[in-house]
Amino acid sequence: MARGRALRGKALRGMIRVRRLIRRMPAAVRGELVVELAVTGRRIADAVRARTPRKTGRLIRGISSNVLPGTLRLQVGLLAKGRGSRNDRFYGRIQDLGRKAQVVRVTRGRGKSKPYQMRVRAMAGKRFVTGRYPELRRELSDNLKGIMGRALARIAGGADE
């Protein structure tokens, strides 16, 4: 989450122009882009599932992909879909990013027992969602470049496809 905010100012300077260009595209090109994002999103979700820890299977069921056609955004990861699904997989984010050692105060029941202190050990992140998938990113980029190239050629009148 913090990494995305940090990138907004520097690496994504031309995003406003890109979004404006995307809004002006013909519906057929947008449809083609949505289909490509959906197909690649499923492949990325499968790769994430392959790296996911398999203790109970809840995390694997929680991995999904979603394409937002209005903004042409692809989301892949532990997406909360349905009522209560976020609570079932809240620990997935901790496993993915890790945690630092700390002492927490635990209370159990409703006034039946005294609160006590518990040590929580540090855990290194497994990075199954936030990890890098360079081969899939490259494939998606190449496919999107092909679609955009054909679309721009069609718009400019240089292709008879």
Ranked by mean pLDDT, which of 28-37, 78-87, 146-155 comes out on top? 28-37
Asked if residue 81 belongs to a domain, the reply is yes
Domain count of the chain? 1
Which residue intervals of the chain are DSSP H helices? 2-10, 15-24, 27-51, 58-62, 85-88, 90-97, 134-156
If you search the block for the tokens 């057929």, which residue do you land on?
28
Q: What one-letter code names the amino acid at 128?
A: F
Q: Quote the domain boundaries for residue 54.
A: 2-92+132-156
Q: In whole angstroms, give the CA distance from residue 83 to residue 96.
A: 22
In a domain, 105, yes or no: no
CA dihedral 75, 78, 126, 106 (to 10 degrees): 140
Residue 76: inside a domain: yes
Within a domain: 143 = yes
Q: What pTM value is reported for the model?
A: 0.73
Classify residue 97: in a domain, yes or no: no
Condensed to tens digits (0 to 9), the pLDDT of residues 20-71 reads 777 777 888 888 889 999 999 999 999 999 999 888 777 888 888 999 988 8
